[in-house]
Structure 1
């Protein structure tokens, strides 16, 4: 079963990260043979679909490389200046796996996949612009609402500062903050259905996670970096810029389960502020019980929303689609209360870029 989960996880990077895919595929075959990967994954035999054991394995190995503990393997890792040779990758990985089997097992069993990809701020930014303006229209206002942002499954909180990021469009326009240390091309097709000349005003931010990452520490930075596929240098550079931004604009992420934390946050509302509940690429890791509780908490808050204290749900999650190659795609979904509006704003890569704006009803 575990080897099959590894094989399924190898499909996530597909052609986007040949290094990660090959490492996971070779590890799956090693599991079938009862090799060293069996020792490393001891205790994870009952992992369920969605826990991504293959990606956790790849992340733990990447961290050893980042820490300088695997010099013989580092030559394959562009994240430290190497160049992959897929034919000899597993041969060079085996000594590292044998030497650090206990450490790898400890790290893999103690963590979940946490990419906390900062490029997801781009669809979030556009979605917040739409939400603030649509809520204002529904309330008969001419000025968009200020936003209070609540993120469930926030990891290191890197996506809790979308207004402090610069988004460079293909016409040279930079939305958000052009002077930010984090400016990148969101690779948009189309544009958000909003007046982008308005400034996004964020007046409150908070986040929670079952295993929050403290990005002010070297351990936290290494943890998040290890889950970026090592041959995606652009993503690595973007993450490092996002970590630099976080150092200048700290936001605490509470250690808490989503439903309980959200209930406390939504127990109060602020007049003339749009409260936005947000999560991205988290839903697959949430238990059915917590999903049900979260929906109930949100439904209770939605019933109490007023035109002057509106509420929004903005999520970027995978959904099944007949058009997608693998049977699913990542979609940006928005609901507004009490306006009663529901939009599917578009779809894109699970990492947030590229993204296509294509507004349809959220059904």
Structure 2
């Protein structure tokens, strides 16, 4: 096999990952689907996309190289560096015309190939989707009340929230978000961010209680400073440009973050979590939370994180309980389903609270054992 044919073979494998990412956008983002489909064809032919993805040829599926490429291109548009492409991007006022999308993308890809390559190499997918605050809020209400019942208390626990893979920390303020239901608004009705959670059913909890969050902390291998323009652009670039509802939701979440700063520490997770869990607080439920990050965590860090959590769980008491609340994709016969899972110690409660779209809404509350 010649060097050129070997390179084409490698990029063919990468092209399949692009095609899989494109399929994941089906019926949700026609613009991103078409961009990634055409980019996959360009990869197979050794075109400019191969130059941009050089150095990422052997990336594993979980790093989603196609979405990193799409995010880098979107950022060019947001920065005003691809005017010919911008006319297709609703996030900057454009209107997609899919038959000519790739034709209009090529000049920008060729002109900025080196910049795009560096961004693809240096970044990870960080949607930090604020819509996930909706299932998180409901899950926290359930956790605080179930832990109280197990301890013989009539009042739900206050919550200390620890988020692993927090990105920009947008989901570390669920008590400051409003959740518009047909008959009421949960959380903060005066919030800068009011979500339609699109719930089918309701959380198995008394929603008249107020969620009391008394502590928050987060970590991420590459934390995003959402107080800066660079950080805001970074998160915005990963929103699919033709999903204006998500785009506007992120704008509101960033505005809320500016009024309520939360620090996100730079850490892969296990050591940070061990440090946080070394301190147990009486009359407080400590909740470890993560959402759609597990695929990015190395096997070693997964094992270390489980061990840290198991050690803390063994030390939990009825008056200093511990919870794990996660919203992650789980494999099914038809592919994947995003499920909200809750464990409580020492109560020994283990629940699958329901399932929803990857961005948190819509969500169906359907409580079953977590097996």
1:184 to 181, 190, 195: 195
1:33 to 27, 31, 45: 45
TM-superposed CA distance for 1:320, in Å, is 1.3
Q: Does 1:151 align with 2:163?
A: yes
Counterparts of 2:332 and 2:350, CA distance in 1: 18
TM-superposed CA distance for 1:315, in Å, is 0.1
Counterparts of 2:163 and 2:146, CA distance in 1: 20
1:50 to 57, 62, 67: 62
2:224 to 193, 207, 213: 213
The residue that corresponds to 1:161 in the other structure is: 173
Counterparts of 2:326 and 2:338, CA distance in 1: 10
Question: Which consecutive segments of 4 or more residues in structure 1 shift more than 4 A?
Answer: none
Q: Does 1:196 align with 2:207?
A: yes
Counterparts of 2:81 and 2:75, CA distance in 1: 9
- How much is the aligned-residue C-alpha RMSD, in angstroms? 0.5
The residue that corresponds to 1:101 in the other structure is: 113
SS in 2 for 1:216: coil
| 1:303-318 equivalent positions in 2, closer than 5 A | 303-318=314-329
1:354 to 336, 339, 362: 362
Q: Does 1:19 align with 2:27?
A: no
The residue that corresponds to 1:278 in the other structure is: 289
Contact 2:134–2:195 at 8 Å: present in 1 too?
no
| 1:247-266 equivalent positions in 2, closer than 5 A | 247-266=258-277
SS in 2 for 1:200: coil
1:128 to 131, 140, 147: 140
SS in 2 for 1:359: strand
TM-superposed CA distance for 1:8, in Å, is 1.0
1:229 to 227, 234, 240: 240
Counterparts of 1:12 and 1:248, CA distance in 2: 34
1:113 to 107, 125, 128: 125
The residue that corresponds to 2:84 in the other structure is: 72
Counterparts of 2:287 and 2:231, CA distance in 1: 26
1:268 to 269, 273, 279: 279
TM-superposed CA distance for 1:41, in Å, is 0.4
TM-superposed CA distance for 1:170, in Å, is 2.2
Unaligned runs of 5+ in 2: 1-12
2:74 to 62, 71, 89: 62
SS in 2 for 1:84: coil
Question: Under a length normalisation based on structure 2, what TM-score does the superposition of the two structures give?
Answer: 0.96
Per-residue CA distance 1:44-83 (angstroms, 9 max, x = gap):
0110111101000000000000010011000000000100
TM-superposed CA distance for 1:101, in Å, is 0.2
Question: Under a length normalisation based on structure 1, what TM-score does the superposition of the two structures give?
Answer: 0.98
SS in 2 for 1:180: coil
Q: Does 1:138 align with 2:150?
A: yes
How many aligned positions are there? 359
Contact 2:324–2:344 at 8 Å: present in 1 too?
yes
TM-superposed CA distance for 1:4, in Å, is 1.0
SS in 2 for 1:87: helix
